[in-house]
Structure 1
Amino acid sequence: MKTQWNIFIAFFRVGMLGYGGGPSSIPLVHKEVVDKYKWMNDEEFGDLLALGNTLPGPIATKLAGYIGYRVSGLWGMINAVLATIIPTIILMIILLTSLSSIKEFDWVQGMTAAVIPVVGVMLAVLTWQFIEKAGKGMGWIPAVILGGVVFILLQFLSVHPGIIIGVLIVFALMKKDKNDQLDKQKEGDPS
């Protein structure tokens, strides 16, 4: 029961504080799952985030569903997803009923403006952690080259991110298949 409570609280906090959508939720999920409860390590979280980004739909609910299932099975998954979406549902009902009457207040406009740099810093920290992981895993030169190529494709050539992700997945699968074949050849080679 304590595990279910921890899952609910962790993802409820993410749902309440993830102002700005999925990108702002990712560092919050990381903080809860990796740093606080230690349900995963950084590498596992990075792999999960990469996989979650290849699938359609909101990233926060995908992360919650997988992590909840991993920690506590089907009930953990249901608990985590509900904990993630309940704050949004409640806040949307409240805000939509009162938005037109409060959107002109300075404090509302200030709150909206202040969130942007906070989310930017949270994403920058998470980005740096992934850059470090890529540098350690692939080597710094290939990681920087791949990052530069992807940046050019996205920013200057306007290639859809889904196409880039798809191509990289196919490339990774082909490389894995080639490595598996080499491993089998080494096992079969008596020399």
Structure 2
Amino acid sequence: MLQTQTQLFMAFLRIGLFGFGGGPSMIPLVHQEVVKRHAWMDDEAFADVLAIGNTLPGPIATKMAGYIGYRVGGSLGALNAVIAVIGPIIIAMIALLGLYARHGDQRWVQGMGQGVVPVVMVMMAKLTWDFFTKSRASLGWLVTLVMGAIAGGLIYWLDVHPGLVIGAILIAALLRPESQQATSETNK
């Protein structure tokens, strides 16, 4: 129990320390810790948590930390993971806003934020590729590309909130009738 709580705290502390750029940049770090390093869940479960987390209000990093912490270590694990992920953020915000208030006109201060952007871009691209590969394996090329194009069109061109798009897909999946083959296999 103590070992699990320690692992949870350290995993989400690393995410909180290195998740520059906010929630979206933390998602690949959460994936690395939760799926690859500790194997607390597989890619499919992680994608489900991410999808459902995106449909709910609030920061994605704290929602994921709370759920994963609860799943791995119960109520104490949820509290532990949330504190670990937000602690460094709170301390960094206080320190950086103080620094910015004093030295905001300095080039080196302005360059700090700009220097992180390419790294976050690469992290998000890798996560996107991983999700594309998983989607292609389960749905096929055509369905993956069509769903991606429709979702992209709704989100970027029609300005539909991503949570609504994900929610609609989840509802459609829940309401989809089972195929005859799946029904006949479960009846055997």
- TM-score, length basis structure 1: 0.89
Amino acid at match of 1:132: T
**Matched length:** 187
**Cα offset for 1:152?**
1.8
Number of the residue aligned with 1:108? 109
Number of the residue aligned with 2:178? 179
Q: In 1, Cα distance between the equivalents of 2:90 and 2:186?
A: 55
**Cα offset for 1:135?**
0.6
In structure 2, runs of 5+ residues without a counterpart are none
Q: In 1, Cα distance between the equivalents of 2:43 and 2:167?
A: 24
Number of the residue aligned with 2:11? 10
Amino acid at match of 1:109: Q
Deviations 1:154-190 (A, max 9, x none): 2222233233223212211111xx11898557767x9
Q: Secondary structure at the match of 1:179?
A: coil
Deviations 1:16-61 (A, max 9, x none): 1111100110011111111212212222211211121111111111
**Cα offset for 1:123?**
0.3
In structure 1, runs of 5+ residues without a counterpart are none
Number of the residue aligned with 1:49? 50
Q: For 1:1-191, list aligned pairs within 5 A.
A: 1-175=2-176, 178-179=177-178
Q: Secondary structure at the match of 2:105?
A: coil
- Structure 1 runs (4+) deviating above 3 angstroms are 180-188
The answer as to whether partners of 2:51 and 2:166 remain within 8 angstroms in 1 is: no
Q: In 1, Cα distance between the equivalents of 2:148 and 2:129?
A: 12
Superposed CA RMSD in Å reads 2.1
Q: Secondary structure at the match of 1:40?
A: coil
Q: Secondary structure at the match of 1:80?
A: helix
Q: Secondary structure at the match of 2:159?
A: coil
Q: Check 1:2–1:125 CA distance in 2 against 1; reply closer, same or farther (3 A cut).
A: same
Indicate the structure (1 or 2) with the bigger Cα radius of gyration: 1
